[in-house]
Structure 1
Amino acid sequence: MKIGLSTHMSFDLSPLDFIRLVGKLKVDFLEIKLDDLRIQRLLQGGDAQRLKELTDSLDLQVIAHLPYIDVNLASLNTEIASASTNSLQKWISTASQMNVDILVSHVGRLSSNYPAMYLKSARQNAIRSLHHLAGTAKRYGLKFTVENDHNSPNHVIAGYASDVKKIAEEVGCEVTFDVGHANTIDKPSKFIPALSGLIANVHLHDNVGKSDKHLPIGRGNIDFPETLRGLKEKDYDGPLIIESHSLNDLSTDLSRLRNILSTI
């Protein structure tokens, strides 16, 4: 398993300066969050090649997390679902210029204003949209993954392991397993057998099981040694992306993760 770090829009560093910092921290992967307006401006300004050259020079493998803010592939409003799909297809095209290995997409949710009886329709909308996106990714030679969701006041479509597995199998894609999200639904280690063979990327952050807090590793109640051991037992050898929301916590998270990996 190889360690990586993700960008975050709250970081008080320019995208390029953050990437240089990631290079100094000696990790293998960088996950770029395409919701970050600074990154969007950089890429839309024609600097995808500049970003690619920087990550190549630092020997970083790149993962692109497609936008999810103001996006809902599961929307029952067909105009919103269609606009969401079209927007993400354009971002897949942009990501292909950055030497990306893996794409990450959220599935979407059904608004809590709708009764649960509409969940089936929302799921069908999401599957349809994800099919289009997976097809676009395939044409560019990119690995497309769906990410498991955390609990929410809205109706969650991809929360439980069984739901995520079914969606990935229907779409014909792989999974980004978010350990912090899983902890708000069930014990993370329980997800691993169900998703075995489908996991292509892993997100790491902590919480106490109630909400998606993105705490540093060890500040919540997730048993990371158990979870990482479970991944290792299933022969997972892909990226472990630390999703920190604080620059000050990066070094601590890296140290704790490296210590855990040395003991399992």
Structure 2
Amino acid sequence: MRISASEFILFCNPPLENVRRLSSIVPEVELMMDGDAWEHDQNGWAAQVKMLKGINVPMSAHPPAWDVNPAAPLLALREAASFLNKKTLEFCVDMGIKQMVYHPGYYDRDSFFSLNRAKDHAYQLLDELIALAKPAGITLAFENIGGPAATLFTQEEFIHALDGIDPCAQLLLDVGHANMNGWNIPEVIDRTAGRLCALHLHDNDGTCDAHLPMGQGNIDWNRTFASMRQLPDSCVFIMEYQTGTDLEKLAEGRDMLLAALG
């Protein structure tokens, strides 16, 4: 079983320090590439490569997410999203990282813009990223994001989101986002098991993206774990807890996963 933790829990601290602290609790770490350390060196993030490359910790990469929207109606915003995702992919190549998250973007459901067009924009960038990621052996983890007012996909649409698309792209189910949208989490896992490469694990009460430790919201973890047991060994379980959460909660989450799935 692969257990990981997102750097989000230590957000805006130096990445090298974060990786060292998190890897003392879990075997793998997902880099959260927002904040001061990343903002000032977007030309390949060479300084971060130099510092992180020597650490013997398996990592995945989460590209910058704040204000980044591949589905945006404005071309300039889509170009910014394309630049940041492609730079993250180059960073993965330099680091030897083999999995990168892809946020397909958001849609304002109160707007007059076309939802189908927004999805087309998201898939256009995905196609471009696949062309770069596939030769490098990098998996793109296509994540469900946003609450009911902003998500691009319904539950059924997400289940089929990668139908007919190169297997370089796999699904990443964020269970907290799924809960906000009222999805049946065990059903989604059951029906996407053959295409899931990762889960983002955190909890909430169904009304906001609180990123609480597992067990502190209203997600039915017993049913969720029952479905997770069928997932392949390659699927990585990434605890994505809110910034400032006590690291003891991360250790408790690790132990919960080991007890339920180990």
TM-score between the two structures when normalised by the length of structure 2: 0.88
Letter in 1 for 2:163: E
Q: Does 1:123 align with 2:119?
A: yes
Q: Does 1:8 align with 2:24?
A: no
Distance verdict in 2 for CA 1:260–1:239, change over 3 Å: closer
Match of 1:194 among 175, 183, 191: 191
Letter in 2 for 1:46: A
The whole-number CA distance in structure 2 between the counterparts of 1:102 and 1:220 is 28
Displacement of 1:140:
2.2
Distance verdict in 2 for CA 1:137–1:36, change over 3 Å: farther
Equivalent pair of 2:3/2:237 in contact (CA under 8 Å):
yes
Displacement of 1:85:
1.3
Match of 1:138 among 110, 117, 134: 134
Match of 1:100 among 93, 97, 112: 97
Aligned equivalent of 2:250? 253
- SS of the equivalent of 1:46 reads helix
Distance verdict in 2 for CA 1:23–1:10, change over 3 Å: closer
Letter in 1 for 2:117: S
Deviations 1:52-77 (A, max 9, x none): 112x2xxx211001122221111222
Q: Which moved more, 1:10-19 or 1:132-141?
A: 10-19
Q: How does 1:162-181 map to 2 (within 5 A)?
A: 162-172=156-166, 173-181=169-177
Aligned equivalent of 1:231? 228
Aligned equivalent of 1:64? 61
Q: Which runs of 4+ in 1 moved over 4 A?
A: 40-43
Letter in 2 for 1:89: K
Gapped regions of structure 2 (runs ≥ 5): none
Distance verdict in 2 for CA 1:165–1:88, change over 3 Å: same
Gapped regions of structure 1 (runs ≥ 5): none
Alignment size in residue pairs:
256
Equivalent pair of 1:72/1:109 in contact (CA under 8 Å):
yes
Aligned equivalent of 1:36? 35
Letter in 2 for 1:190: E
Q: Which moved more, 1:83-92 or 1:193-202?
A: 83-92
Letter in 1 for 2:187: K
The whole-number CA distance in structure 2 between the counterparts of 1:163 and 1:73 is 18
Equivalent pair of 1:216/1:244 in contact (CA under 8 Å):
yes
Equivalent pair of 1:8/1:36 in contact (CA under 8 Å):
no
The whole-number CA distance in structure 1 between the counterparts of 2:18 and 2:203 is 22
- SS of the equivalent of 2:176 reads helix
Letter in 2 for 1:183: N
Equivalent pair of 1:9/1:36 in contact (CA under 8 Å):
no
- SS of the equivalent of 2:141 reads strand
RMSD between superposed Cα atoms in Å: 2.2
Displacement of 1:244:
1.3
Letter in 2 for 1:102: Q
The whole-number CA distance in structure 2 between the counterparts of 1:234 and 1:19 is 26
The whole-number CA distance in structure 2 between the counterparts of 1:128 and 1:246 is 32
Q: Does 1:53 align with 2:54?
A: yes
Aligned equivalent of 1:78? 75
Letter in 2 for 1:53: G
